[in-house]
A and B are shown apart, each in its own frame.
Chain A
Amino acid sequence: MLLISCPYCGVERPETEFRYGGEAHIARPADPSQLNDEEWAQFLYMRTNTRGLYAERWRHAHGCGRFFNAVRDTVSDKFVCTYKAGEPKPDLDALARASQEKDAR
């Protein structure tokens, strides 16, 4: 059972309080009618599905109810950080490099 830190509530809560929201930072097109089928399929279905550091959404369904984002290593399931909706996507490459250096020490 994952332990997830809700950036709004400010506490770590067990996974059963949350619902997964898939990949983060996928902007809903401002004008869907302008997209062709290929572009619409990209938005609806195509996902990075990273093996490694992944930016994803969670919703604190049995808590504050809000969506927020997280960076988690999908191999170890360790959370690197959680951050509020609207905040910029962290530099995943830099985070990966930093954690590799930390492990090497």
Chain B
Amino acid sequence: MTRYSFLEVAKNAFSAHKNWGRQWRSPEPKPAYDVIIIGAGGHGLATAYYLAKVHGITNVAVLDKGWLGGGNTGRNTTIVRSNYLWEESARLYQHALDLWDGLSQELNYNVMYSQRGVMMLAHTVHDIQVFKRHIHANRLAGVTNEWLSAEEAKEFCPPLNIDKNIRYPVMGAALQRVGGTARHDAVAWGYARGASAMGVDIIQNCAVTGIRRAPTGEVTGVETTRGFIGAKKIGCVAAGNTSVVMAMAGLKLPLESNPLQALVSEPVKPAFPCVVMSNTIHAYISQSDKGELVIGAGTDQFVSYSQAGGLHITTHTLDAICELFPMFRRMRMLRNWGGIVDNTPDRSPIIGLTPVPGLYLNCGWGTGGFKATPGSGHVFAHTIATGAPHPVNAPFSLDRFRTGRLIDEAAAAAVAH
């Protein structure tokens, strides 16, 4: 794998950049692998990367029905943070945050991880109580989070409108200074390049159409649009399409796939220094390094795989943005799109074993998967490699819906459902 650096870019300038090697291979699928990962999004590619890097398991294929990173990984609003409520979540998201730190260097790929701060706004007395509780819980769990007054919030984010006479005035905010953003596409590409260099085969345009099982019940491989591929271990990381894939193994899951929309504005010079999220008025916003305001909305209320949503959802979000940041009202939106988010009843993911031997599951990240990408991949690789969950993902089992040990993070998810 060619080491990327400024020197390398400069050297390639002499050949007009025509001699760069491909960032990942596109091989024909082999008849069988040790592990198949279904879904070449950020989490799936990270899983493959850590299988190879940490566990020395390189005979791995990552399959995707489309192009890698083309699902939710390519559609999210790039927010990274770890300020969830429960201890189990704190461990999971903080694990990810620890891996984000230094990820560019680990992958030798600039994922543009920017710790510019994530500020969650409180607009009601209830909000204040909830966020202060979160802050205390976070600090007990070793996660950084602090309370700001409305004036302090405005100091941290000057464009913020803290006028008391708007419909939902800002009464304060919870700030995670170490939170921020990362370039979503770069994360997928960085993991893909790293995994491919270690021998992982990434097979795009390869849809899984069936999961084959032996008479004794364990998986033996997958049927795909490019033929049967054998494997004793299969990890399903298919996000919004998880129910579709797992139904092929006869499993029904606690998931509902909803549309989630996002938009970007026209690019302007630097105007917005951090990430701001508001549960109550259903909007979150940051500014990409290209200058575009990146804005996310709440989910549409029904099950849909359309990757589209209603205009009323985005106008509701933009109304909120315009009230909070009045100078942005004249800015035009450039692009609007949707993804498919798989929501669990407690808004926490499912990472672990399934009743089907050899079939592992990583799903249910709903509206908040991107921030956990490195952590999710790392613990899921451990789960597949050892056949048992890592301590960090052990609480996030499918079984918790039977035992009742739910991990309710609806508030921390911070996106309207």
Contacts and interface: CB of A to CB of B under 8 A. Distances in A.
Most buried by A among B256, B304, B311, B345: B304
A56 B302 contact: yes
Q: State the majority secondary structure of interface residues on A.
A: mixed
Interface stretch (B19-27, B71-79, B247-255): B247-255
Interface stretch (A5-13, A36-44, A91-99): A36-44
A38 B310 CA distance: 36
Given A20-B302, A46-B401, A49-B253, 12 more contacts: A2-B310, A16-B312, A22-B256, A45-B345, A46-B252, A46-B253, A48-B247, A49-B257, A50-B303, A51-B241, A51-B243, A75-B305
Interface in A26-74: 37-38, 40-42, 44-51, 54, 56, 72, 74
A41 B401 contact: yes
Contacts of A2: 302, 310
B256 A49 contact: yes
Contact of A47 (B254, B302, B305, B308): B254
B15 interface: no
B211 to A, nearest CB: 16
A74 B305 contact: yes
B361 to A, nearest CB: 13
B303 A74 contact: yes
B252 A1 contact: no
B301 interface: yes
Contacts of A1: 310-312
B403 A37 contact: yes
Chain B interface: which size bin?
20 to 34
A76 interface: yes
9 contacts: A1-B310, A2-B310, A15-B301, A37-B403, A47-B252, A47-B254, A49-B253, A50-B303, A74-B306
A101 B136 CA distance: 60
Given A47-B252, A49-B243, A56 B303 contact: yes
A79 B90 CA distance: 41
B269 interface: no
Interface string B382-417: 000000000000000000011110000000000000
Most buried by A among B254, B302, B401, B403: B302
B57 interface: no
A20 B243 contact: no
- List the 7 closest pairs (A to B, CB-CB), nearest first: A45-B254, A49-B243, A46-B252, A20-B301, A41-B402, A1-B310, A41-B401
B315 to A, nearest CB: 10
B32 interface: no
B303 A45 contact: no
